[in-house]
Structure formats: structure tokens, C-alpha cells
Amino acid sequence: MARTALVTGGSRGIGAAISQALKAQGCNVAATYAGNDEAAAKFTDETGIKTYKWNVGSYEDSAAGIAKVEADLGPIDIVVANAGITRDAPFHKMTPQQWQEVIDTNLTGVFNTVHPIWPGMRERKFGRVVVISSINGQKGQFAQVNYAATKAGDLGIVKSLAQEGARAGITANAICPGYIATEMVMAVPEKVRESIIGQIPAGRLGEPEEIARCVAFLASDESGFINGSTISANGAQFFV
């Protein structure tokens, strides 16, 4: 039976690779995006994966968008909370707005994405929740008090959801990508990026497909006993 999957931030970067990996695994996939209509249209043209536009920071928009996806594709079996932003600044320069925008998207956005889907998963006694956290939620990062707080919070979410969902056939797991070759990492000043690469024993950035592979594994029917775990994929940069 083909599973239906929702991937937030699923038309670019790591999310685009996840959407494609789940499609290759036989899922019907819906990918959300927040603003870049051109990239989303191109992604649909190239992959045949439907895209939906909403702001994961809004509960109302998320619930309405999810209802539309379920009307189009059927009940969502797999949800990948991947949408994320950075607003990097040293703490003494970080504004309340930079703090709040990151909290709204990266942390509240996970609540807003999973909460409307959760009751249906409980009823159907099957669900796969995968949250894309970050190495920087594990180790912290200069200029990322906001981002690191959300990514550490994401780990708390999955460990709690795992306990609540286990008896209903739902798993919740997190992936902590290291530095991956996406627009987000390419936006880091070159000198800083080069120094980060110097700290990665693999000697290179990761590829989005290397994260997508972890998601496809966790999202499969056969991964039912893997619950509340965190997979680190960071080229040996950091161990928990």
C-alpha cells in the first residue's frame, strides 16, 4: 500500500532530496514551501511532486493546508518536519525579532505540522514522524542561540512523542544533519565556512541525499521499533 507523506520545506535543499527519496520509495508525496513560488514550480515540473504553500509558523494555515493535502492525497502516514530558517547573530546583537522568527518556524512549526496529523495517525494505528534537527542543537553554535535552542527543542519533541505514540504504532525520530551543501550553509561567509569544513573529519560538506537516506529508512514500515532516536549524520564532526 502506497503511503502518503508530507515534507515541510520540501521543495528546496535537504527537503527536496527527502521528498524525492520518499517518492522513490513508493510514497505519494506533498511538499510544502513558504515563499519561493518559482523554485516550487520548477521542483514540481522536474519531479512531479505536488507543492503546497503555507507558513508553518501559523497553526491555522498549517491545519488548513494539511486538510487540503489529505483531501487531495489521502490521510498522511508520514510527516517530515523539515522546514527551518536561520537568523544568525552573536547573542549581544540578536534582536527579539530574530529570536522569535526562528522559534516560530523551527520549533512551533514542528508542533503546528504534527499536531493536526497526530489524531488521524492514532486512529489508524500507524504513523512515522521525522523531525530534522541539527548538529547545532546537539553542540550549540556561535551566533545561533536562537537556532540551537529550537533544534535542541526538536529533540525533546520527538522523545516525548515517541513515548505517546508507541502503543498506537507511531514512531517519532530525529535526524541531526551536520553541515550539508545547501543554500543555508552556502550563505555562511566563505571564510567561516572554510573553517567549519576544517572541523569536519570527512573533509567535506554532506550531501542532501545523505540526509534523505536516513529519512527514508526511518519512514519505512519496517522501522517500527526505532522510536525516539536521534541519527547523527555529520561526517564525524560531533558525537553525543
Q: Which residues are catalytic?
A: 147
Please say which residue, 99 or 147, places its beta carbon nearer to ligand CAA.
147
Please report whether residue 146 would count as binding ligand CAA according to CB under 6 A: no
Could you tell me the three cell numbers for 143? Answer: 551566533
Task: Let me know: does 31 contact 17? Beta carbons within 8 Å.
Answer: no
**First vs last C-alpha separation in the chain:** 37
Binding segment toward ligand CAA, per CB under 6 A, in 42-50, 85-93, 160-168, 203-211? 85-93
In terms of Cβ atoms closer than 10 Å to its own Cβ (0-12, 13-18, 19+), residue 67 is: exposed
Report d(CA 17, CA 4) in Å as an integer: 16
Segment 123-142, which members bind ligand CAA (CB under 6 A)? 134-136, 141-142
| Amino acid code (one letter) for 226 | I
Please report whether residue 102 would count as binding ligand CAA according to CB under 6 A: no
Beta bridge partners of 78: 5, 128
Which DSSP symbol is given to 127?
E
Binding segment toward ligand CAA, per CB under 6 A, in 33-41, 83-91, 119-127, 157-165? 83-91
Question: Of 28, 98, 104, nearest to 62 (Cα)?
Answer: 104
Minimum Å gap between C-beta 230 and ligand CAA is 14
Minimum Å gap between C-beta 123 and ligand CAA is 34
Give the one residue of 32, 50, 88, 154 binding ligand CAA; rule: CB under 6 A: 88
Give the one residue of 38, 93, 97, 240 binding ligand CAA; rule: CB under 6 A: 93
Contact pattern from residue 3 through residue 22 relative to ligand CAA, giving x for each residue in contact according to CB under 6 A and a dash for the rest: --------------------
Please report whether residue 43 would count as binding ligand CAA according to CB under 6 A: no
Report d(CA 85, CA 104) in Å as an integer: 10
What are the φ/ψ torsions at residue 175 (nearest 5 degrees)? -120, 135
Could you list the residues that contact ligand CAA (CB under 6 A)?
A: 86, 88-90, 93, 134-136, 141-144, 147, 179, 184-185, 188-189, 192
